[in-house]
Amino acid sequence: METQNKTGQAPDVYEESEVTLAPLADRTVAILGYGNQGRAQALNLRDSGVAVVVGARPDGRGHARAVADGFAPVSLQKAAAQGDVVMVLLPDEVQGPAWRDWLAAGMKPAAALGFSHGFAIAFDQIAPPDGATCFLVAPKGQGDMLREAFAKGGGLPGMLAVTDTSPDGTWDLAAAYAKAIGCLKGGGFRTTFREECIADQFGEQAVLCGGLIELLRAAYDTLVSRGYSKDNAYFECVHEVKLIADLLHRHGLDGMRRMISPTAAYGGLTRGPRLVDDGLRDRMSTILDEIESGDFAAEFLADASSADPSGASLAAREAASDFTATGRGLRKRLDALGLDDTNPSGGTR
Ligand SMILES: NC(=O)c1ccc[n+]([C@@H]2O[C@H](COP(=O)([O-])OP(=O)(O)OC[C@H]3O[C@@H](n4cnc5c(N)ncnc54)[C@H](OP(=O)(O)O)[C@@H]3O)[C@@H](O)[C@H]2O)c1
């Protein structure tokens, strides 16, 4: 029987106090991959009293780190065979080939399959058989943040989903898993594999890792091309992003506007909309179309498996750019001074 609220539905948001770890009792969780998420989740599960077996490549960095953390890692295949819950925490582009090559045939027949991103299920890289138990617990943050917060008694919010053909009890298992890794602290939000995957990728592309970075670069280039110093341009257009992000995170949009100077507030409110016009919204919509249609997923997988991935060469070109070098120089100087780069006044100057 699933956990239900007063209306008889599984809740839209799972609260930690309403969820028990009972679905994980007497079950071993196999963590496949000891990277960013695998390490944090394995450690948090162990601290929550859950039995964990770590699967890692024998000569890899993850294997060595798992040993240092007190685990006795086994091969990925062995771990998959031992798990009652098999958590697939390999890079997204590796999950489909792993499923086809050894995972599908190597799991216990009744084992549950878990993910921390919807990609493999949403874009048909993995198709568990009808009736198989399959869930998603996607922490809203990096593994190191999850581990650090959990170790201090906190955690991160998480997105939870189960596949349509999963049996009764799967939502309870997902909620228990989320609680055990510290993902119900801020609430566990119900979603679908597809919604989580698409919204996550859109946020990364339109804002966090794409749009935002290009906006910063364009602003830096504009100042530098008009004769302003590179250091000054970097401070104003890049370095101070953290100050505003922290204010937004802690105090919300209205709080941030109240805490910055009137000049900054007026300038932002009147000039921001001139930059983000309908043309940009149309291009964002096209980017969302590409994600929804699966075109982005196909392009990414093809690039990752090519002999000369363009993702790697684009990153190398960016690392060698003047923009990156200016930031590197400034950070070195600030690190050497041991300065905390947060601004207690919360201002932008
Ligand atoms: N990173 C995040 O912030 C984040 C946040 C939420 C969700 N997620 C999701 O969590 C999942 C795991 O991502 P991650 O960032 O934790 O991954 P990751 O750190 O890049 O790598 C995970 C592990 O996969 C192993 N691995 C890499 N390539 C492999 C291959 N070809 N065959 C076998 N093992 C291989 C690595 O082993 P070695 O140590 O041997 O190299 C590493 O330990 C993904 O679905 C991701 O979308 C990530």
The answer to whether residue 244 sits within a structural domain is yes
Q: Which residues line ligand 1 (CB under 6 A)?
A: 33-38, 56-57, 60-62, 76, 89-92, 94, 116-117, 138-139, 142-143
Tell me the sheet residues that pair with 29.
52, 85
208 pLDDT exceeds 90? yes
The answer to whether residue 223 sits within a structural domain is yes
Do residue 180 and residue 256 come from a single domain?
Answer: no
pTM passes above 0.85: yes
Determine the residue of 61, 86, 89 to mutate for testing ligand 1's pocket, defined as the one with the most ligand atoms within 8 A of the Cβ atom.
Answer: 89
Dist. CA 95 → ligand 1 center (Å): 9
Whether the CB-CB separation of 45 and 29 falls below 8 Å is answered with yes
Domain end position, chosen among 191, 221, 240? 191
Q: Which two tokens stand for residue 56?
A: 């890692």
Do residue 209 and residue 131 come from a single domain?
Answer: no
Taking Cα atoms as reference points, which of 176, 115, 181 lies closest to residue 154? 181
Query: In the predicted model, what is the mean pLDDT of residues 19-34?
Result: 97
Report which protein residue has its CA nearest ligand 1's atom 13.
Answer: 91
Total domain count, the chain: 2
Do residue 105 and residue 182 come from a single domain?
Answer: yes
Supply the range of the domain harboring residue 317.
200-337
The answer to whether residue 248 sits within a structural domain is yes
| Ligand 1 atom with the shortest distance to the CA of 139 | 6
Q: How confident is the model at residue 333 (pLDDT cuts 50, 70, 90)?
A: confident
Whether the CB-CB separation of 154 and 182 falls below 8 Å is answered with yes
In this prediction, residue 51 carries a pLDDT of: 98
Domain end position, chosen among 191, 217, 251? 191
Do residue 57 and residue 21 come from a single domain?
Answer: yes
In this prediction, residue 177 carries a pLDDT of: 98
Do residue 130 and residue 52 come from a single domain?
Answer: yes
Do residue 153 and residue 219 come from a single domain?
Answer: no
| Mode of pairing for the β-strands spanning 13-14 and 188-190 | antiparallel
CATH number of the domain enclosing 88: 3.40.50.720
Q: How confident is the model at residue 150 (pLDDT cuts 50, 70, 90)?
A: very high
Which secondary structure element, helix H or strand E, spans residue 54, and what is its range? strand 51-55
In this prediction, residue 338 carries a pLDDT of: 66
The answer to whether residue 120 sits within a structural domain is yes
Domain end position, chosen among 134, 163, 191? 191
> From the candidates 117, 239, 249, 251, which is the catalytic residue?
117
86 pLDDT exceeds 60? yes
- Greater confidence (339 vs 327) lies with 327
Query: What is the arrangement of strands in the sheet containing 13-14, beginning at the earlier edge strand?
Result: 13-14, 188-190, 158-162, 134-139, 112-115, 85-88, 28-32, 51-55
Whether the CB-CB separation of 45 and 181 falls below 8 Å is answered with yes
- The model's pLDDT over 35-84, given as tens digits with 9 standing for 90+, comes to 999 999 999 999 999 999 999 999 999 999 999 999 999 999 999 999 99
30 pLDDT exceeds 60? yes
Q: Which two tokens stand for residue 206?
A: 């339109």
